[in-house]
Amino acid sequence: QKEVEQDPGPLSVPEGAIVSLNCTYSNSAFQYFMWYRQYSRKGPELLMYTYSSGNKEDGRFTAQVDKSSKYISLFIRDSQPSDSATYLCAMSLQGAQKLVFGQGTRLTINP
Partner 1 sequence: DSGVTQTPKHLITATGQRVTLRCSPRSGDLSVYWYQQSLDQGLQFLIQYYNGEERAKGNILERFSAQQFPDLHSELNLSSLELGDSALYFCASSVGDRGRSDTQYFGPGTRLTVL
In the 8-state DSSP scheme, what is residue 60? T
Among 22, 24, 31, 62, binds partner 1 (CB under 8 A): 31
Question: Using the rule CB under 8 A, is 87 a contact of partner 1?
Answer: no
Report the alpha-carbon distance of residue 71 to residue 94 in Å, rounded: 18
Which of 99, 74, 55 is CA-nearest to residue 11? Answer: 74
How far apart (Å, rounded) are the C-alpha atoms in residues 23 and 102? 7
Closer residue to partner 1 (CB): 3 or 78? 3
Q: Which of 7, 67, 99, 108 binds partner 1 (CB under 8 A)?
A: 99
**Which residue in 49, 62, 67, 75 binds partner 1 (CB under 8 A)?**
49
Q: Rule CB under 8 A: is residue 96 a binding residue for partner 1? A: yes
